[in-house]
Amino acid sequence: MLEHWLLDPDVSYLNHGTVGAIPKRVLARQQALRDHIERAPAQVLVREVAPLFGLAAREGPSLRGAAGEVAAFLGVEGNDLVFVDNATAGIVSVLGSLAFEPGDEIAITDHTYGAVANVAAFIARRFGAVVRAAELPFPCPGPDALAAAVETILSERTRVIVADHVTSDSALVMPVAEIARLARARGIPVLVDGAHAPGAIPVDIAALGVDWYTANMHKWAMAPRSCGVLWAKPSRQEGLHPPVVSWGLDQGMIAEFDWVGTRDLTPYLAAPEGIAFMRDLGLQAMQDHNHALVLEAAELLSRHWRSERAAVPALTGTMATVALPEGLGGTPEEGARLRDALLSEDAIEAHIASRDDRLWVRISAQIYNELGEYERLAAVVAARS
């Protein structure tokens, strides 16, 4: 399968989850779109792709067409989904469009992605609001424990819950539907950070019962970088604004988000090609294969290092986190040094995180990976400890 990517065959790329890796076929589609645009830039961009100023749309690739295909893949309607640069931009859009009173609370967890936690803190301090982080059990025994941890911090002042679908550093598949059920009983809206979900695990946004869902398509859904999406239920679309305000102000979600200035729109337009690539391979078969591979790899590493895994199989998608041998340190700085040494000296790209004074490796499993790469990681790390 490696032949479908431009990845260096001499490097064990065990870190698909960080920024993804774009298949050659999708890159070719993106370049074809760029070529099409450059033949008549103004015509294509403002008449075909994202019609502006009342000009009649012409035949050709369009954001709304691409949004419809991506939305169908995620189980929702195209008119309720817009493109954003990435999941963090989606978080900024939602939290930045809400109003808070002093003392109001934004609920997150202690596994929330760092940039998203920063967004919550930034928005909260503008209003004198408070960010409360649920402490998730780690390692985690099961989904009920995760939902229960989130429930403990909810109060009458909670105005929104920001819930990961798959946590970034720890790779826990969160029980989003159960968290949403708990929130609805209290009248609290839920914003989901699905950065690592589309393409990695089945995603049916409509079935989750949430209010907003933002995600990256350029990680596991094979789209070019950067390509994110933001879905909002119809009752939550009024007053929703992108981080960059442009010509569509107050004309509705689609008008505001589809044009936020001149930019490269080809990652969005090529997103359906990534979906088609996965479907041609066999989407369910691919997800099942990656899930089985990462579980086998995590068990191998845990056994080799005599260390613990972060989660049970029920909380695992296509990434898994395993504790590294204690002799390798525990600080973020030590983790960064190990990460860089693995790449520069051993040709292994893997994500290293620090939690509770311990280093953890997060491995990804994509169809171009094979078990021997994780076996080599196990041996290399053991030799360093």
Of 57-61, 127-131, 173-177, 219-223, minimum mean pLDDT range: 57-61
Three-class SS state of 215: strand
Residue 275, pLDDT > 70, answer yes
CA dihedral in degrees (170, 175, 180, 186; nearest 10)? -90
Residue 121, pLDDT > 70, answer yes
Residue ranges of domains in the chain, CATH in brackets: 2-21+282-384 (3.90.1150.10), 61-276 (3.40.640.10)
The string of pLDDT tens digits covering residues 302-344 is 999 999 999 899 999 999 999 999 989 999 999 999 999 999 9
Burial of 207-236, coded b for 16+ CB within 10 Å and e otherwise, reads: ebbbbbbbbbbbbbbbbbbbbbbbbbbeeb
Residue 158, pLDDT > 70, answer yes
- Across the beta sheet with 158-164, the strand order is 81-84, 228-232, 212-216, 190-193, 158-164, 105-109, 130-134
**Which of 228, 233, 230, 152 shows the shortest CA–CA distance to 189?**
233
Residue 13: HSE in the Cβ half-sphere, 13 Å Cα cutoff: 17
Q: Do 156 and 130 form a contact (C-beta atoms < 8 A)?
A: no
Q: What percent of the chain has pLDDT over 70?
A: 98
The pLDDT value recorded for residue 49 is 85
CA angle, corner 261, sides to 212 and 76, nearest 5?
25
Residue 69 Ramachandran class (φ > 0 left, ψ -120 to 50 alpha, else beta): alpha
Q: Which residue type occupies 62?
A: S
CA distance 384 to 328: 7
Q: For the whole model, what pTM was predicted?
A: 0.95
CA distance 37 to 25: 19
Q: Is it true that the peptide bond before 143 is cis, omega within 30 degrees of 0?
A: no
Residue 145, pLDDT > 80, answer yes
Q: Which residue type occupies 213?
A: Y
Number of neighbours of residue 7 by Cβ within 10 angstroms = 17
Q: Do 232 and 212 form a contact (C-beta atoms < 8 A)?
A: yes
Residue 60, pLDDT > 80, answer no
Q: What is the DSSP string of 216-243?
A: ESSSSS-PPSS-EEEEE-GGG-TT---S
> If you average pLDDT over every residue of the chain, what do you get?
95
Which band of pLDDT confidence, cut at 50, 70 and 90, is reported for residue 153? very high
Strands (E), the chain: 12-13, 81-84, 105-109, 130-134, 158-164, 190-193, 212-216, 228-232, 319-323, 348-349, 351-355, 358-364
Q: Is it true that the peptide bond before 12 is cis, omega within 30 degrees of 0?
A: no
Region 33-46: what's the mean pLDDT? 91
